[in-house]
Amino acid sequence: MIKKLQRKFIQIAVLSLFGVLTVVIGVVNVINFLQMNRDANEILTLLSENDGAFPDLFPGKMEGPGEEPPQQEHLKKEEPFHPDRIRGNLSEETPFATRYFLVRTDSDGQISRIDTSHIAAASSGEAKEYAKKALAKNKTTGFMGIYKYRITSTDQGSLLVFVDCRTQLKTAFSFLIVSVSIAAASLLVVFILVSVFSGRAIAPVAESIEKQKQFITDAGHELKTPIAIISANTDVLELTAGKNEWTESIHNQTGRLSGLVNDLLTLSRMDEEGYSPHLADFSLSSAVAETAEPFETLAADGGMEFSASIAPDIRFYGEESQLRQLVTILCDNAVKYCPKGGQISLTLEEKGRCVALTVKNTCGQLPQGDLKRLFDRFYRAENSRSRETGGYGIGLSIAQAIVHAHKGKITASREGDSVICFRAVF
């Protein structure tokens, strides 16, 4: 149990960090891509609105006292540019750092001019192919490989501007790889640290569990002696004064206490670290049939119908006594909680490489809420029936421990409005 608790602690810590890192890295990378996309759109808008050329972004800026900036015909436009339209990271270096090409179409949609003078990575033929693909998409903007494009309609046709975003995409992708790598390394480091120090973190809980198990074991062994003495003294009283309702009640209660002590000791033994059942090959079909047979009589005496469907010749590698105890617990639970006139069914079947043991019974009032709680120790779905059924709510906990010791899984489920089903799969 301590190892299981430690593993769960490590899982929770690592998964929590994984969730936080996933959100942070995802948000940062999305923001990074959106920023890159916004900058590309800003340049595309600037070029599209200025007939495919950069305007003078900083008119009147001097290179030095009394000097005029060098004239660059392809960066100028007759109409003045308004500085309040400069946004984002645009600067005087933007025209020189931006690689782009232009494609113009006439009013009939035919390509009339291609300008690749501002880029060396794309030829006229490649620019033409990119333009055809962009026009076929029927979208005004988008990505075409490493190029972000925009289509602007004019009186003479359309202007297609393609901006080379390879540097920005490479940077974004590199940032993604680096951030994911750092996150993975962080997870690995945290996993190692948590694995090393988790023992200290759960030490108080582990100590409490060990003390609880030791108390149950010591108390169980100590209780056996007075219970045996009380039973023996009651036998003497019956020999001297004869049986009566009081001595019979004492026998009943000492029997119940003895059963409870044995159940607690069984659970305590199964909770010990390194516990494993004594495995051997045996006929599970025969064991289930023999164990379930007495409950047919009990069910008939209580006015219930008991049916069993047991597949023949099923062999199993496990501890036979524990599997018999599992069948006893499930059948006894079904008989206790099945109303008069109800039905109980037991099924043992093979499904592929698995063996399934199923016990169903009609239930007067189905337990509400999460049925997993039925396997909690001392949990009673119907507290008012504790005295009537004679149980302590510990039987299903033992059944679960037996199934888990054999690497199986046990579940409880509702079927319809009146049937509860317990199913153990190995």
Sign of the torsion formed by the C-alpha atoms of 70, 76, 79 and 83? negative
pLDDT at 387: 46
Is 80 exceeded by the pLDDT of residue 214? no
Residue 160 host element (H or E): strand 158-164
pLDDT at 81: 46
Is 50 exceeded by the pLDDT of residue 168? yes
Query: Which three-class secondary structure state does DSSP give residue 350?
Result: strand
Sign of the torsion formed by the C-alpha atoms of 186, 187, 192 and 193? positive
For the chain, report the end-to-end CA distance as a whole number of angstroms: 21
pLDDT at 265: 78
CATH of 203-271, one of 3.30.499.10, 2.60.40.1180, 2.10.260.10, 1.10.287.130: 1.10.287.130
Q: Which long-range contacts (CB under 8 A, 24 or more apart) does 249-257 make?
A: 254/227, 254/230, 256/390, 257/223, 257/227
Is 60 exceeded by the pLDDT of residue 318? yes
For 231-264, how does the pLDDT look when each residue is reduced to its tens digit (9 = 90+)? 888 888 888 888 888 888 888 888 878 877 877 7
Count other Cβ atoms within 10 Å, centred on residue 357. 24
Highest mean pLDDT: which of 11-15, 67-71, 202-206?
11-15
User: In this structure, what token pair is assigned to residue 407?
Assistant: 């690497």
Is 60 exceeded by the pLDDT of residue 389? no
How far is 380 from 396, CA to CA, in rounded Å? 10
Q: What single letter denotes the amino acid at residue 100?
A: Y
| Environment class of 147 (CB within 10 Å of its CB; exposed 0-12, middle 13-18, buried 19+) | buried
Is 60 exceeded by the pLDDT of residue 107? yes
Q: How are the residues of the chain apportioned to helix, strand and coil, as percentages rounded to the nearest 5?
A: 55, 20, 30
How far is 326 from 408, CA to CA, in rounded Å? 12
Q: What percent of the chain has pLDDT over 90?
A: 33
pLDDT at 358: 93
Least confident of 77-81, 124-128, 217-221, 295-299: 77-81
The arithmetic mean of pLDDT across residues 387-410, rounded, is 78
For 348-364, how does the pLDDT look when each residue is reduced to its tens digit (9 = 90+)? 999 888 999 999 998 87
Q: What is the mean pLDDT of the chain?
A: 83
For 15-67, how does the pLDDT look when each residue is reduced to its tens digit (9 = 90+)? 999 999 999 999 999 999 999 999 899 899 889 888 888 887 656 554 444 44
Domain 280-425 = CATH 2.40.50.90: no
What is the residue extent of each domain of the chain?
Answer: 2-59+71-168, 203-271, 280-425
Query: Which three-class secondary structure state does DSSP give residue 210?
Result: helix
Q: Which residues, at least 6 apart from 190, have a Cβ–Cβ distance to it below 8 Å?
A: 13, 14, 17
Is 70 exceeded by the pLDDT of residue 77? no
Q: What percent of the chain has pLDDT over 70?
A: 87
How far is 167 from 74, CA to CA, in rounded Å? 23
Better-scored residue on pLDDT, 200 or 314: 314
CATH topology identical between 203-271 and 280-425: no
Q: How confident is the model at residue 288 (pLDDT cuts 50, 70, 90)?
A: very high
The arithmetic mean of pLDDT across residues 278-303, rounded, is 90
How far is 361 from 336, CA to CA, in rounded Å? 10
Q: How confident is the model at residue 390 (pLDDT cuts 50, 70, 90)?
A: low
Q: Strands 158-164 and 419-425: what pairing?
A: unpaired
Better-scored residue on pLDDT, 234 or 210: 234
Closest CA to 165 of 111, 101, 114: 101
Q: What is the DSSP letter of 374?
A: G
Q: How far lies 158's CA from each of 40, 50, 108, 165, 237, in Å?
A: 20, 13, 10, 22, 113
How far is 402 from 379, CA to CA, in rounded Å? 18
Closest CA to 147 of 40, 51, 47: 40
Better-scored residue on pLDDT, 408 or 75: 408
Q: Which long-range contacts (CB under 8 A, 24 or more apart) does 82-85 make?
A: 83/57, 83/58, 83/59, 85/46
Q: How confident is the model at residue 273 (pLDDT cuts 50, 70, 90)?
A: low
Q: What is the DSSP letter of 361?
A: E
How far is 412 from 395, CA to CA, in rounded Å? 14
